[in-house]
Amino acid sequence: MSGKPRKPEGLLPQPNESVESFVERGQAIVAENVFEFRPQEGDSIGEYLLRLRLNSGWSAEDVATRLKNFPDSVVLTPAELARLESGDLDLVNKQRLKVLATLYGVPQDWVLQTASYPVDAEVATLPATDNLFATMTMRSAQLDSLDPETRQALNQIFNEIISAVQGAQQDQPSEPSSAQE
């Protein structure tokens, strides 16, 4: 097994496919196959969608291009996607969230649950420390505007920090959680 992180394998819209058909195809995504991409404790819908997009390796422009043939209720420009990922709840609607979940390759209920929509079966969230530092840093640093050498150095630092945090979590014995407060 290589050290390269796995990406969720989302579905792409077919030419002239309706939103309803695309969403229906997305309902076949099996949670067990993408369990490591489930929401993290304390995620807002914007944070979760940002992490899913970054895990997919897509830019905001890539997402906008994939959604361009859908109706306006689903389509997002790169600027609107950035607003949504920054927490603009005016852009949230159930159909758009289902389409994004399908596009990113995760169960639609996970995205809906994170946005506080009622779902049939809730999923347990991941601990919040899994990717928090890298996500916060990526938001504050516009990596694309940096020279390649600096960008490579920062990516290496981020990966080392994430590996250290994940290693520390694996080394700790798991304790039964107790309700506090």
Question: What is the average pLDDT across 124-131?
Answer: 66
Q: How far is residue 98's CA from residue 120's CA, in Å, rounded to a whole number? A: 14
C-beta separation of 71 from 19 below 8 A = yes
Place of tokens 């404790």: 41
Burial class (CB in 10 A: 0-12, 13-18, 19+), 119: middle
Which of residues 88, 114, 140 is at a domain's end?
Answer: 114
Is 96 among the domain residues?
A: yes
Q: Are residues 108 and 48 in the same domain?
A: yes
Q: Are residues 86 and 148 in the same domain?
A: no
What pLDDT shows up at residue 177?
46
Q: What is the pLDDT of residues 21-70, one digit of tens each?
A: 999 999 988 888 888 888 988 889 999 999 999 989 899 999 999 999 89
Q: Are residues 23 and 64 in the same domain?
A: yes
Q: How far is residue 125's CA from residue 109's CA, in Å, rounded to a whole number? A: 13
Q: Are residues 142 and 58 in the same domain?
A: no
Domain residues for 148? 132-170
What is the domain count for the chain? 2
pTM over 0.85: no
Q: How far is residue 103's CA from residue 100's CA, in Å, rounded to a whole number? A: 5
